[in-house]
Structure 1
Amino acid sequence: MMSKVLFQKKQTIDYKLMMNVKKIACIGAGYVGGPTMSVIAQKNPGIIVTVVDLNQARIDAWNDSDLNNLPIYEPGLADVIEEARGRNLFFSTDVEKAIDEADMIFISVNTPTKTYGKGKGQAADLKFIELCARQIASVAQSDKIIVEKSTLPVRTADALKSILDNTGNGVNFHILSNPEFLAEGTAIPDLQSPDRVLIGGENRDAIEALVGIYEAWVPRERILTTNLWSSELSKLVANAFLAQRVSSINAISELCEVTGANVDEVARAVGTDSRIGPKFLKSSVGFGGSCFQKDILNLVYIARSYNLHAVANYWEQVILLNDHQKSRFAEKIIRDMYNTVNGKRIVFLGWAFKKDTNDTRESAAIYVADHLLSEEANIIIYDPKVTAEQIYRDLDYLGTRSSEENKRLVQVVEDPYEACKDAHAIAVLTEWDEFRTYDWKLIKEQMKRPSFVFDGRSVLDSSLMESLNFTYYKIGSDVNQK
């Protein structure tokens, strides 16, 4: 009886603590941590939110008085930063101070695919997660709510709990899973008006504390609560389903090209079915970004670790089809240009994996470029938001050739018309809206003849390309006018 009374008393104390979150710390100032915490601070002016990162240059950029110099380009982000920064939103490298003072700590560090050891090429690398947990455990002197914001394999919370409980100072840690469902380019609208907020946990008071933070602007019916494992797995499954749709329509795009069908018309016909819907049925050169490939590979690894080989093989095919789409696009360029691109000037319009972001992780452009560079093509790249340093870093990371060789074969320019001058071909790799507005008549006059355009994002007007006498190829169509 005595133990039951003590337990009930402890629960009451926890409840008061959890419902009185005054300070939040977020470890990781990247694509998820920065925007997410900025919106939380904007919507909860009474809560102090501190985003910490050991990367001094990144923190300096978040604190830059010129909002054009933020480390992440995301429409609407600068306005949120301007409203909250200095009021109740802060960026710092003092990780220990933020941990010590926080009631709630979000872990938002990178969880890349492993490049070594067991699970290489598929499993998530959790070394940064473990480092965070150990640092929290060593610093914390009071009870904390720990929120998994990074994308993690199912049951990672077990490992977090074990580290925190066994290496800490005797304080209580409550683990929650709160995966992000942001689409880069629309991250701020996604945060300000989300389809749903998912919170998984075992301690009801801790869950309600996080629910209360989101209820400052999200209707309660959009806040879903589950157990920890369902929440962790739901993030992987959501991205797997979305990527599956992209690979599905891309598979059909290849069939359309050889049968005379048009993939845009097929997608429109299929997408009007209410059971299917129109979203993620836009054929392209392939999906990219930090989540889709990484999360599917993680899902494949988890399935294989439980000997669910049929499940693993099914999801792995989504990745294989995406890789095929990128390589066949590159091969199409080579084949149409008389089976050689050696020494030819090929312009890439776009390097980011999608429009309205400067994120290049797993961008299709990287792999198409690598394929063409292996054929000794000269590539000129223009992207309105991606820096030359990032482009060379992306190519060097592949390790296909030396950094010097990449710089010999690749030129990055800041003017699209300069890029297209004397070009043999143009490849559209990102769907930036500005590409539609260019003076394509002027571009045609500056190019070599015949003038090839390979539209990997279906953003250009095919009738205009035809009228200007381009040799034009669009993904998913037999359009190939001269």
Structure 2
Amino acid sequence: MTIRRICCIGAGYVGGPTMAVIADRCPDVQVIVVDLNDQRIAAWNDADLGRLPVYEPGLDAVVGRARGRNLFFSTDVDGAIGEADMVFISVNTPTKVKGLGAGQASDLRWVEACARQVAKAATGHTIVVEKSTLPVRTAEAIKTILEAAQDPPGNGDVPRTFSVLSNPEFLAEGTAIRDLETPDRVLIGGEDERSIQSLAAVYGQWVPDDRILRTNLWSSELSKLTANAFLAQRISSINSVAALCESTGADVREVARAIGTDSRIGPKFLQSGPGFGGSCFQKDILNLVYLCRHFGLPEVADYWESVVHLNTWQQHRISRLVVQRLFGTVTGKRLAILGFAFKADTNDTREAPAIRISRDLLEEGAQLAIHDPKVEPSQISRDLRLESVVPDPETGTTSQALSGQGSWWTAGSVEQAVAGADAVLILTEWTLYRHLDWKDLAQRMRRPAWVFDARSVVDRAEVQSAGLTYWRVGDGAQ
């Protein structure tokens, strides 16, 4: 089956970039990305490519080449499904907040809604592709819904039939376009060989065949959860070692370099910091925990759950350390938070370490001036569950500074953020923060002043020569 028309349901961080690259690399395939959020679709269609709803280096160029040629964004979900040979489901699958499996299991309401909409609107034979991160055997539920809508044999000239594939994404935000254009692997799981080959032929227009892996449905679904669990485990592991380094005089960067040269371990994901964030790691591990408990494997569940617990502990540890170093209190003190996205080169704040650390400091009564080059103030408000305030232009704080109530506001520049601050916390590794003039910044701060470098991005000697006290994660020399 030659694929001529693709529909993707979901215009978010995965659906938008993935479909843009497919359209760019497959000019003979018409790609339509649909979403019920008309504001998001309008942003994808905005003439100003700098206003795309997803910030990803290189994405604007890809969209600019394909949009209007064979890449389209629309709110007409049923129409796009009806015309499509292949439908990708790329909607959010957050962790359930109530009911059976709350706090661990994935909320699949949107996936099921998509399956039912495809069942209603599809025509002819349609290949349905799971792109969202899903628990093992979700495809079984999708297949059951679709099979119930299939036309019986001999009903009509072109009966409605379906096949289901699993094609999980392995994208790192900040490098998603590069990951899509030169992937380590493309994983396709399914039971229908013709459908697998149809999807493989799409990717095969730019991905070498030896990088297109074919498995059964269940192996494909589990591979996604396992990949994220292994990566997150490395981050929690190196952060646990970082805490030990600080207590023993070792340097976690030297330890990481030493163990990373072992070919059995390798150097990737051994950078200590404030912990992992993003939409996938915590959600996928908790999903894995839930599945292990469901299938009677409590010891396995406990093992993977400890990875999440260590990550949370690391973030609370950093916020406690800031309070302790600032004479045991941050009430009324101005702290500059540099970076709110969960990592550099993205505007995604989902599960960002800055959220938990900032909430801890607000609970202690801190006044936070937050700077991030890509995250909108409205998003910070939602994440902190607290509206921003306007600081006094003369004092640099708010009228409630000594009341014990924490508050925050956004700063338009690093200089504005650090003005009058007692400390700077670097929580995202933006390139901008690697090249700051600390002598100038130090003169704007209240003394004694600290720099807490949770991302190890600034030069210790430069900070200390400016008269600032320096701390970085995993450095026992301090």
For the superposition of Structure 1 and Structure 2, which TM-score range results when normalised by the shorter chain? over 0.9
Instruction: Map 1:193-204 onto structure 2 (within 5 A).
Output: 193-204=182-193
Query: Alpha carbons of 1:112 and 1:83: their partners in 2 closer, same or farther (altered >3 Å)?
Result: same
Query: 1:137 touches 1:169 (CA, 8 Å); kept in 2?
Result: no
Instruction: Map 1:243-254 onto structure 2 (within 5 A).
Output: 243-254=232-243
For residue 469 of structure 1, report the CA deviation from its aligned partner: 2.1
Say what the alpha-carbon RMSD is for the aligned residues.
1.4
Instruction: Map 1:284-303 onto structure 2 (within 5 A).
Output: 284-303=273-292
1:150 to 121, 124, 132: 132
2:450 matched to which residue of 1? 452
Tell me, in whole angstroms, the C-alpha distance in 2 between the residues paired with 1:402 and 1:439. 31
Of 457-466 and 198-207, more deviation after overlay is shown by 457-466
1:436 matched to which residue of 2? 434
Answer yes or no: is 1:270 the counterpart of 2:259. Answer: yes
1:468 matched to which residue of 2? 466
Instruction: Map 1:58-457 onto structure 2 (within 5 A).
Output: 58-170=40-152, 171-396=160-385, 409-457=407-455
2:18 matched to which residue of 1? 36
Tell me, in whole angstroms, the C-alpha distance in 2 between the residues paired with 1:160 and 1:253. 44
Read off the aligned partner of 1:164 and give its amino acid letter.
Answer: L
Which whole-Å deviations, capped at 9, do the CAs of 1:251-283 have from their partners, x for residues lacking one?
Answer: 000000000000000000000011100000000
For residue 465 of structure 1, report the CA deviation from its aligned partner: 1.4
Read off the aligned partner of 1:369 and give its amino acid letter.
Answer: S
Instruction: Map 1:1-80 onto structure 2 (within 5 A).
Output: 19-80=1-62
For residue 167 of structure 1, report the CA deviation from its aligned partner: 3.9
Which whole-Å deviations, capped at 9, do the CAs of 1:418-454 have from their partners, x for residues lacking one?
Answer: 1110001100000001111111101000101111111
For residue 403 of structure 1, report the CA deviation from its aligned partner: 8.0
Tell me, in whole angstroms, the C-alpha distance in 1 between the residues paired with 2:405 and 2:251. 38
Tell me, in whole angstroms, the C-alpha distance in 2 between the residues paired with 1:307 and 1:463. 53
Which whole-Å deviations, capped at 9, do the CAs of 1:340-392 have from their partners, x for residues lacking one?
Answer: 00000011000000000000000000000000111111011000000101100
2:133 is paired with a residue whose SS is: coil
1:133 is paired with a residue whose SS is: helix
1:218 is paired with a residue whose SS is: coil
Query: 2:189 touches 2:216 (CA, 8 Å); kept in 1?
Result: yes
Query: 2:362 touches 2:405 (CA, 8 Å); kept in 1?
Result: no
Query: 2:83 touches 2:123 (CA, 8 Å); kept in 1?
Result: no
For residue 402 of structure 1, report the CA deviation from its aligned partner: 7.8
Give the percent of matched residue pairs that are identical in Structure 1 and Structure 2: 58
Tell me, in whole angstroms, the C-alpha distance in 1 between the residues paired with 2:191 and 2:293. 27
Which whole-Å deviations, capped at 9, do the CAs of 1:302-356 have from their partners, x for residues lacking one?
Answer: 0000110000000000000000000000000000001100000011000000000
1:453 is paired with a residue whose SS is: strand
Query: 1:140 touches 1:168 (CA, 8 Å); kept in 2?
Result: no
For residue 478 of structure 1, report the CA deviation from its aligned partner: 2.4
- Stretches of structure 1 lacking an aligned partner (at least 5 in a row): 1-18
Query: 2:278 touches 2:352 (CA, 8 Å); kept in 1?
Result: yes
Tell me, in whole angstroms, the C-alpha distance in 2 between the residues paired with 1:211 and 1:243. 29
For residue 25 of structure 1, report the CA deviation from its aligned partner: 0.1
Tell me, in whole angstroms, the C-alpha distance in 2 between the residues paired with 1:418 and 1:372. 19
2:187 is paired with a residue whose SS is: strand
Tell me, in whole angstroms, the C-alpha distance in 2 between the residues paired with 1:160 and 1:368. 39
Larger helix percent: 1
Query: 1:138 touches 1:168 (CA, 8 Å); kept in 2?
Result: no
Which whole-Å deviations, capped at 9, do the CAs of 1:107-132 have from their partners, x for residues lacking one?
Answer: 00000000110100000000000000
Query: 1:392 touches 1:407 (CA, 8 Å); kept in 2?
Result: no
Read off the aligned partner of 1:477 and give its amino acid letter.
Answer: D
Tell me, in whole angstroms, the C-alpha distance in 2 between the residues paired with 1:74 and 1:478. 35
Tell me, in whole angstroms, the C-alpha distance in 1 between the residues paired with 2:198 and 2:179. 22
Tell me, in whole angstroms, the C-alpha distance in 2 between the residues paired with 1:443 and 1:410. 20
For residue 470 of structure 1, report the CA deviation from its aligned partner: 1.1
Tell me, in whole angstroms, the C-alpha distance in 2 between the residues paired with 1:143 and 1:56. 29
Read off the aligned partner of 1:469 and give its amino acid letter.
Answer: G
- Stretches of structure 2 lacking an aligned partner (at least 5 in a row): 153-159, 390-399
Tell me, in whole angstroms, the C-alpha distance in 1 between the residues paired with 2:284 and 2:151. 34
Query: 1:140 touches 1:169 (CA, 8 Å); kept in 2?
Result: no
Tell me, in whole angstroms, the C-alpha distance in 2 between the residues paired with 1:179 and 1:119. 23
Query: 1:327 touches 1:371 (CA, 8 Å); kept in 2?
Result: yes
2:147 is paired with a residue whose SS is: helix
Tell me, in whole angstroms, the C-alpha distance in 2 between the residues paired with 1:91 and 1:423. 45
For residue 168 of structure 1, report the CA deviation from its aligned partner: 4.8
TM-score by length of 2: 0.94
TM-score by length of 1: 0.93
Which whole-Å deviations, capped at 9, do the CAs of 1:158-185 have from their partners, x for residues lacking one?
Answer: 0000111124555211000000000000
Aligned residues: 458
